[in-house]
């Protein structure tokens, strides 16, 4: 157990996922006098490297990982794929569109002056090197840094001196960051003014597909269909089923309405046939499909990021949103960046007493919340609008959405603004 330095600010991070570990690593560097403890319920010997859940990283997130010294290890593993171009279109025709071809948006890294728009990695590929780096930090500075595996946090209690964390024992910290959120189906539903919660009545079917090798590498596709949005994200070459052929792969996210699900009752061969009818011809032929997993989709967003004085939420603990824009994880990483910046620029002093530290903590958290709210609510509103739109009358919606896609594709300043928001958020 770490020893408490009375005059050093103490920070507890609940959740050793990518957001929590990223904050811990950067805080250890930026706050050299701080005491930092990470709690997680999973056992220390659990291997997270094989977790195949797909994460789409924006270029801003990739740059953050580069600054942390983590990205080189991820690239060296050969388990990441760059996003060089994004292609957005819709399945339904836009009847009022004046052009001969249906409207589409293509955003290329080259035209935006960046090496890539982002990258795709598995959850395990990202978390494993983050956890290894944090463990090395703990080993090198065990008097102020700690990793508490197999230690679920059962409760938090605000006290005059900060926050009391109820884990194996009660322990007091100046600041607690909740970074453990889970998925929508496992979360408690929120009510205003505590937050916003909405079940979209949609299912995301996720898996992998094998693509014809004649297509372009590094392409991500977003396709608006009559049932909901479907996306393909580039993956490193390999098989999509054990023992199957190796080739150009993509991660599939296929969103459909739960009360009219065209996927659930089909076998793999039928699903493959259907998939080849819904995507844009630029995708090429989808030749193989892995088994799919289903996840209910919904929105959970806390109205405030800071509550109970010195407790702050980030990532999925603060907001869980629809995957239509593929930005949920990046929103959490921007939470990490802004929170760290607020803490880093707080003038901590060895002379601070308990009351002074609490005053500084709360001032930093107010600054963090003020800076984060515009970006998070802009993205929450956008994804919520798009997710709900699939329940509206289809002909009118398809026309409006198609005209919007066409306008973005035709107006370079608008497309540039969209590209910057995808890479770096609304700021």
The pTM of the whole model exceeds 0.85: yes
- Distance, CA of 375 to CA of 325 (rounded, Å): 14
CA nearest neighbour of 171 among 183, 159, 189: 159
DSSP 17-86: SHHHHHHHHHHHHH-TT-EEEEE-SS-TT---TT---EEEEEHHHHHHHHHHT-HHHHHHTT-EEEE-EE
Tally DSSP H helices, then E strands, for the chain: 10, 21
Under 8 Å CB-to-CB from 409, ≥6 apart: which residues? 103, 104, 105, 106, 415
Q: Express each pLDDT in 111-163 by its tens digit.
A: 999 999 999 999 999 999 999 999 999 999 999 999 999 999 999 999 988 99
- Distance, CA of 114 to CA of 118 (rounded, Å): 10
- Distance, CA of 216 to CA of 221 (rounded, Å): 12
What pLDDT score does 93 carry?
82
Q: Which residues are paired to 233 by β-bridges? A: 251
What pLDDT score does 405 carry?
87
- Distance, CA of 124 to CA of 349 (rounded, Å): 38
CATH number 3.50.50.60 is the correct assignment for the domain at 10-49+124-195+298-387: yes
What pLDDT score does 3 carry?
40
DSSP 84-136: -EEEEEESS--TT--SSSPP-EEEEHHHHTSS-SEEEEEHHHHHHHHHHHHHH
Q: Express each pLDDT in 300-347 by its tens digit.
A: 999 999 987 899 999 999 999 999 988 999 999 999 999 999 999 999
DSSP 270-309: HHHHHHHHHS-GGG--EEEE---EEEEEEEEEES-SEETT
* Residue 334 host element (H or E): helix 328-344
What pLDDT score does 425 carry?
85
Residue 218 gets the label, from left (phi > 0), alpha (psi -120 to 50) or beta, of: left
Q: Per-block average pLDDT, block size 10, for the chain (427 residues)? A: 61 97 97 96 91 94 96 94 95 79 92 96 96 96 95 93 93 96 88 92 96 88 92 96 95 95 95 96 95 96 90 96 92 96 94 92 96 95 86 70 85 89 81
Q: What is 76-120+199-297+390-424's CATH superfamily?
A: D-Amino Acid Oxidase, subunit A, domain 2 (3.30.9.10)
Q: What single-letter DSSP state applies at residue 310?
A: T
Domain regions of the chain by residue span: 10-49+124-195+298-387, 76-120+199-297+390-424
- Distance, CA of 14 to CA of 149 (rounded, Å): 11
What pLDDT score does 399 carry?
78
What pLDDT score does 393 carry?
58
């Amino acid at each position: 157990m770490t020893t408490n330095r009375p005059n050093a600010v103490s920070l507890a991070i609940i959740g050793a996922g990518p957001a929590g570990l990223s904050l811990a690593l950067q805080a250890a560097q930026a706050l050299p006098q701080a005491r930092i403890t990470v709690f997680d319920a999973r056992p220390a010997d659990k291997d997270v490297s094989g977790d195949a859940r797909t994460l789409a990283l924006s270029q801003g997130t990739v740059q953050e990982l580069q600054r942390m010294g983590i990205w080189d290890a991820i690239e060296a593993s050969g388990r990441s794929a760059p996003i060089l171009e994004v292609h957005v279109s819709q399945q339904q025709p836009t009847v009022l569109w004046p052009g001969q071809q249906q409207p589409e948006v293509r955003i290329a890294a080259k035209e935006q002056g960046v090496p890539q728009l982002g990258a795709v990695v598995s959850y395990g590929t990202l978390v494993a090197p983050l956890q290894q780096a944090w463990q090395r930090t703990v080993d090198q500075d065990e008097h102020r840094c700690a990793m508490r595996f197999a230690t679920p946090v059962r409760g938090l209690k605000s006290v005059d001196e900060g926050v009391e964390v109820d884990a194996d024992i009660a322990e007091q910290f100046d600041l607690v960051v909740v970074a453990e959120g889970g998925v929508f189906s496992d979360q408690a539903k929120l009510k205003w003014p505590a937050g916003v919660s909405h079940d979209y009545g949609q299912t995301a079917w996720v898996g992998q597909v094998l693509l014809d090798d004649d297509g372009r590498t590094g392409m991500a596709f977003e396709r608006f269909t009559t049932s909901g949005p479907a996306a393909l994200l580039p993956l490193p070459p390999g098989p999509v089923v054990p023992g199957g052929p190796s080739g150009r792969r993509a991660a599939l996210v296929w969103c459909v309405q739960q009360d009219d699900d065209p996927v659930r009752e089909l076998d793999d061969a039928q699903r493959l046939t259907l998939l080849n009818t819904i995507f844009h011809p630029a995708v090429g032929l989808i030749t193989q499909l892995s088994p799919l997993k289903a996840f209910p989709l919904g929105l959970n967003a806390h109205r405030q990021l800071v509550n109970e004085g010195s407790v702050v939420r980030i990532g999925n603990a603060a907001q869980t949103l629809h995957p239509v824009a593929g930005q949920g994880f990046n929103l959490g990483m921007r939470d990490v960046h802004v929170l760290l910046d607020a803490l880093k620029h707080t003038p901590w002093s060895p002379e601070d007493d308990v009351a002074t530290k609490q005053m500084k903590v709360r001032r930093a958290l107010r600054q963090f919340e003020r800076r984060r709210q515009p970006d998070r609510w802009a993205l929450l509103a956008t994804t919520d609008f798009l997710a709900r739109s699939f329940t509206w009358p289809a002909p009118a919606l398809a026309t409006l959405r198609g005209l919007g896609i066409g306008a973005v594709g035709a107006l370079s300043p608008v497309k540039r603004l969209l590209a910057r928001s995808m890479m770096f958020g609304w700021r």
